[in-house]
Structure 1
Amino acid sequence: MAGAANSFNVIKRAALPALGFLIIANFLGYAVVGSNGILSWGDYRRSKAERSVELAHLQEERGRLAHRAKLLDPRKADPDLADEMIRSELGLVRPDEVIIPIEQ
């Protein structure tokens, strides 16, 4: 009976350090291979590069749209742009014009 009690005490003393080791190993595992771990840094860099390219395209588009909006300012609209937009949106044609469709 003394041997069983002795082995229980050994297990009891080893359980807390083993549990601590498992918890630390779990955190280290996530630090290395987790979604925010060391091995995912390459994915983050690639994703950042893709997002930077997308951002550059969006900024270029934003600049183009801002310029077009400036040309359509009601106080000083560009007559050529307004004429182009009216004709394309409403399909208006003067009687003396000839329309030649161009495929895009």
Structure 2
Amino acid sequence: MRKPPRENVRQALALVLLVGLTVAAIAGPTGLLAWAENAEALEQRQAHIAMLTKERDALRNRVALLDPEGADPDLVSELVRSDLGVLHPDEIVITLDDE
């Protein structure tokens, strides 16, 4: 028995749709091929976030040390001397920057 032409068209459209969905699942922007790239990008962003978090925490600590209510005398002295340039020739300033 031959299938009616309408049934053949339906099956052809279903096959085209199935092939299209399969191609999208493999090669699409969220497909299997993009999975490794997305995982690598995620690792890079997490490392960048960790670095920014460390930098933010260091800045928070420095702000806390400069609180007008109870500023750290050593840090205040260091900042005033470096900003005003009032170091004695025999003085050595040691800074602990992570850079």
TM-score by length of 1: 0.70
Alpha-carbon shift at residue 99 of structure 1 (Å): 7.4
Q: Deviations over 1:19-71 (max 9, x none)?
A: 22212211111111111001211112212221222122112112211111110
Measured at CA, do residues 101 and 82 of structure 1 come closer, stay the same or move farther in structure 2, by a change above 3 Å?
A: closer
AA at the equivalent of 2:89: V
Structure 1 gap segments, 5+ residues each: 1-8
Give the number of equivalent residue pairs.
90
Equivalent in 53, 75, 78 of residue 84 of structure 1? 78
Higher relative contact order (CA 8 A, sep 6+): 2
Structure 2 gap segments, 5+ residues each: 94-99
Residue identity (%): 30
Task: Name which one, 1 or 2, has greater alpha-carbon Rg.
Answer: 1
Match of 1:55 in 2: 49
Match of 1:33 in 2: 27
Match of 2:96 in 1: none
Match of 1:4 in 2: none
The answer to which structure has the higher helix fraction is 1
In 1, Cα distance between the equivalents of 2:81 and 2:13? 76
In 1, Cα distance between the equivalents of 2:78 and 2:31? 54
TM-score by length of 2: 0.73
